[in-house]
Structure formats: structure tokens, C-alpha cells
Amino acid sequence: MEKIVLEIPEEILISSKETTRELSKEIRMLAALKYYQMGKLSSGRAAQLAGISRISFLQSLSQYGVSIFDLKTEELAQDMNNA
């Protein structure tokens, strides 16, 4: 497993009213959502990046305003193959 380290100013933690762990989890989820939305990751790989199950990832899409139905046919086929 690779590790990426982000330096977050303390003011961001204070403004977000989240712990370091909560903010880290949220950033991973948002990155996963964006990569999924851009078609760079399948739902399974995006879920892996977010650190949650594929079902949980798919269920959370609507909470972030991401539609599962925005995928192009070839992206959906790739997603199905990677599942």
C-alpha cells in the first residue's frame, strides 16, 4: 500500500470542526467520488480508495450529488467488469 501525506493547516481543522481522522476520511471519500465521477476509477476501486465497501460507496453517491446513472456505456461496462 502506498501512502500520500497531506499537510493541512490547523485553521482548516478548526474551521471544519472535524478531527484529523474525520477530515482524512472525508478527503478520501471526496477523492474517490471525484475519480469515480470522472471515470478514472470503477465503483469498486473508488470504494477501495474511500475505505468502504462497494455497496456503501454506491449508496453514498446520492448524498454527494453524484448519480450512478451518469456513466457512459463503456464506463458502465468497465465498472461491471471490475466489480
In a domain, 51, yes or no: yes
In a domain, 1, yes or no: no
In a domain, 33, yes or no: yes
In a domain, 52, yes or no: yes
CA–CA dist 45, 40 (Å, integer): 9
Which residue range is the domain that position 18 belongs to? 10-82
Number of domains the chain contains: 1
In a domain, 61, yes or no: yes
DSSP codes of every residue in 9-59 = -HHHHHHHT--HHHHHHHHHHHHHHHHHHTTSS-HHHHHHHHTS-HHHHHH
CA–CA dist 33, 29 (Å, integer): 6
In a domain, 54, yes or no: yes
In a domain, 41, yes or no: yes
Interval 20-38: pLDDT, tens: 999 999 999 999 999 999 9
pLDDT at 29: 96
In a domain, 65, yes or no: yes
Please give the model's pTM, rounded to 2 decimal places.
0.76
